[in-house]
Amino acid sequence: MRKLILMLFLWTFVLPAFGQKYFITNQYVYDLFLVNPADAGNNNNCITFNGFYQKQWFGVDLAPTTQLFSFQTPVVQNLGSGTYVFNDRNGNFKRMGLQQSLSAEVILRENRHGFTSLHFGISAFLEQSSINYSNIDGGVGLDPIITAGSENGSGFNINTGVMLEINNHHIGIAASNLLGQNNPMYKSEWEPSNGADIHIHAGTSYKIPDRDIYIDPLVYYRRSSDRDTRFDANLKLYMPTLDPKFAFWGILAYRRSMDDRLGKDLGLGTTIGIDYQNFSFGIEHQLGMTPAQKRFGSAFILVASYRICAGKNKGAMPCTQKDAIIKAAQRSKKRGLKGVKDAHNH
């Protein structure tokens, strides 16, 4: 009976915690290489450091909490690198991990009419997970002899991706968890079989004519190994100020599950942020629409970044890999959208 209770506990709490493996890739709107290694170190003019802190279900003990730090840099010509480390806790379940990504860019076209390039990426992922049974209330009925206090294991995986850039537009596809689940913690008949997850994204960048407002729409589709699907629509706004050291930015996001016939709302996300010279800071509020999110509350994410750019440019205009507008102007001063060159030269 106690073994059965233990198995039911694992099925109820541990599997959902493991299923919540998207606490990293869901931050793709801030760092695209988190979902597609082909975008790692894409901007060869900047070294970028990003930090994320996510907290869900305020007021709940051992609520889901994630810390993540990422680093991107160009290596040599047309080669880039991206690295991140994370620490995630969901109840008594914890995960720590490291991923290293490498990317290569092949220039297909570069002339006065524009540019086209193809990016390839691959990454190696290492994680350690553990569950602590000692924190579980005695009323649950777990036997310390069975549980032995805690359990842990390690796993290794590989991700890959490709991305096509045409002027200010990009489209990419990536596959994660190519090796399936190999963490010994999940090697049992109770565990579902796991395969690769598929990620597809597309976006563009443009400047509103005669206005210092830059818009970056981005759409994202994911199909997980258990055939769950999700669709996101994101809109990033960037607004410089009269002081070139300051700028404001924001993101509106809509997330929807595609599993039901007509789809199901997952939530809305709103981010407001400010840039000062090479520093950037933002806060995101996620308004969950699922029954669990409505009951336990939504989530907050703090985002902070620092960049080191070529030419010692300390203006607030960002130079991240997602700003294809600026990248186009950097490649050739004779083209790019109206007003981009002036903004970049601030």
Task: Check if the beta carbon of residue 184 is closer than 8 Å to that of residue 198.
Answer: no
Give the tens place of pLDDT for each residue, 185-212. Answer: 776 666 666 778 999 999 998 888 878 7
Q: Categorise residue 242: left if φ over 0, alpha if ψ from -120 to 50, beta otherwise.
A: alpha
The C-alpha atoms of residue 275 and residue 253 are separated, in whole angstroms, by 20
Give the tens place of pLDDT for each residue, 163-181. Answer: 999 988 999 999 998 988 7
Closest CA to 122 of 97, 100, 107, 154: 100
Q: Find where tokens 């004519």 sit.
A: 209
Give the tens place of pLDDT for each residue, 208-241. Answer: 887 878 899 999 999 987 778 889 999 999 888 8
Give the tens place of pLDDT for each residue, 88-144. Answer: 988 888 999 999 999 999 999 988 878 899 999 999 999 998 888 776 655 444 444
Task: Check if the beta carbon of residue 300 is closer than 8 Å to that of residue 288.
Answer: no
Domains with residue ranges and CATH for the chain: 44-133+145-342 (2.40.160.60)
Give the tens place of pLDDT for each residue, 277-297. Answer: 889 999 999 887 767 666 666
